[in-house]
Amino acid sequence: MELSRSAGVPSAGVALIALAAAALPLVTRDSYYLDVATTILMNLTLTMSFRLQVSTGQINMAHISFMGIGAYASALLVTRVGLSFWATLWIGPLVAAALAVPIGSVALRVSGPYYFLITFAFSEVVRLFFNNFFEGLFGGPSGLVGIPKPDRLLGLAFDGKLELYGLMAVLCVGVALALVRLDHSRFGLTAGAIRQADLLAETLGVNVFRYKLTTFVLGSFIAGLAGVFFAHFRRVLHSSDFGLEPMVLLVVFTVIGGTGSVWGPVVGTILMTIASELLRELHHYEILVFGAVLILTMLFAPEGLVALPGTARRLLRRLRGRAPAAAGVGLAP
């Protein structure tokens, strides 16, 4: 019963995201604001998929690489093979998920710094591969250019910012609905138990490795989905788009928002993407600013910004409880 009662809140949250996404074109159709909103939705899809992997207690430093794998796979299949974007929209994520199976199978057999180093090494291998090998195919340091926009679907063209924003909004809401439902299912509860005490969960009969590998592959699939849209939205791919700096920003967005809830990445991504736009002229100091915000968050709000309302309510209840007790002490003879 508790699970069914809590399911209404996630559905309301997804509905709120959908209403906000649908309302933006009614407020403004300025290309700049649509571009920023599309970037927020794209980052939101990526951070929610990253949080899915973090839900089992593992920080995958190669997550951004699977976004790149999906992006390059779709771009090459469209430009070199001639497939439709709507076919590669699913093929790209499947390629990312397929590569995630062997990588996750190896990396998840270790933990702690060893897992971190394996995933970080894989991320660098992928970046260097796109940058230094098969330049005629991947574009090398100059990047892969000439990626077309999505082709028509049911007579609807995706040439303008508004249509691309609508497509990303549909993808983001679909991903959010799926992940929120998953988070409040038995699978999500088990993943949370693994994050808190994986050895204890294993002694209770939970196949910890299978759960971790499932979240690793599913998160990589969604990252690949975001990568496919990224490729056809930006229309240019560089290996640096999937390097260390974007990965660090992805971790910052997720941790600042909070990893204990699927809504943590929503809060962190929206606030930090807007902050990134405001700091565009100070791009060289952006990482320093975000790093400072991350340190302050870990010190004063270790559960993330999404947990601040609950912390404030508990603090108020504690203060209200002390007030009557203090008054009773003062009135005592």
Assess whether 210 and 297 both reside in one domain.
Answer: yes
CA dihedral sign of residues 60, 96, 104, 122: negative
The four Cα atoms 168, 274, 308, 190 give a dihedral, to 10 degrees, of: 30
Structure tokens at 190: 């088990």
Q: Which of 15, 30, 29 is nearest to 177 (CA)?
A: 15
Chain CA centroid to CA 135, Å: 29
Answer yes or no: do 138 and 238 share one domain: yes
Angle between helix axes 8-27 and 161-183 (nearest 10 degrees) is: 170
| Residue 329, pLDDT score | 52
41: left (phi over 0), alpha (psi -120 to 50) or beta: alpha
Do 276 and 328 belong together in one domain?
no
Both 256 and 315 in one domain: the answer is: no
Q: Look at residue 2 in the predicted model and tell me its pLDDT.
A: 37
Q: Give me the pLDDT at residue 201, please.
A: 81
CB 288: neighbour CB atoms within 10 A? 10
Looking at the structure, tell me whether residues 215 and 254 fall in a common domain: yes
Continuous H helices in 28-62 = 31-54
Contact (Cβ atoms closer than 8 angstroms) between residue 216 and residue 104: yes
Please write the tens of the pLDDT for every residue from 9-46: 456 777 877 888 888 888 888 888 899 899 999 999 99
Using CA atoms, how far apart are residues 321 and 319, in angstroms rounded to an integer?
A: 5
**Which 3 state secondary structure label does DSSP give 304?**
coil
Together in a domain, 318 and 204: no
Q: What is the 3-state secondary structure (H, E, C) of 146-192?
A: CCCCCCCECCECCCCHHHHHHHHHHHHHHHHHHHHHHHCCHHHHHHH
In a shared domain, residues 284 and 316: no
Q: How many domains does the chain contain in total?
A: 2
Please say whether the beta carbons of 231 and 237 come within 8 A: yes
**Sequence-distant (≥ 6) Cβ neighbours of residue 141 within 8 angstroms:** 131, 135, 238, 239
One-letter amino acid identity for 182? L
On whether both 298 and 311 belong to a single domain, the answer is no
Report phi then psi at 144, rounded to 5: -95, 115
Residues 296 and 312 in one domain: no
Looking at the structure, do residues 268 and 318 belong to the same domain, yes or no? Answer: no
Give the domain CATH number at 241: 1.10.3470
Residue-level pLDDT at 228: 95
**Crossing angle of helices 113-132/244-257, nearest 10°?**
140
Low-confidence ranges of the chain (pLDDT < 50): 1-9, 331-332
Which residues constitute the domain of residue 315?
Answer: 307-333
pLDDT of residue 7: 45
Q: What is the DSSP letter of 259?
A: S
Specify whether the CB–CB gap between 278 and 268 falls below 8 A: no
> Could you tell me the pTM of the whole model?
0.86
Residues 58, 8 within the same domain? yes
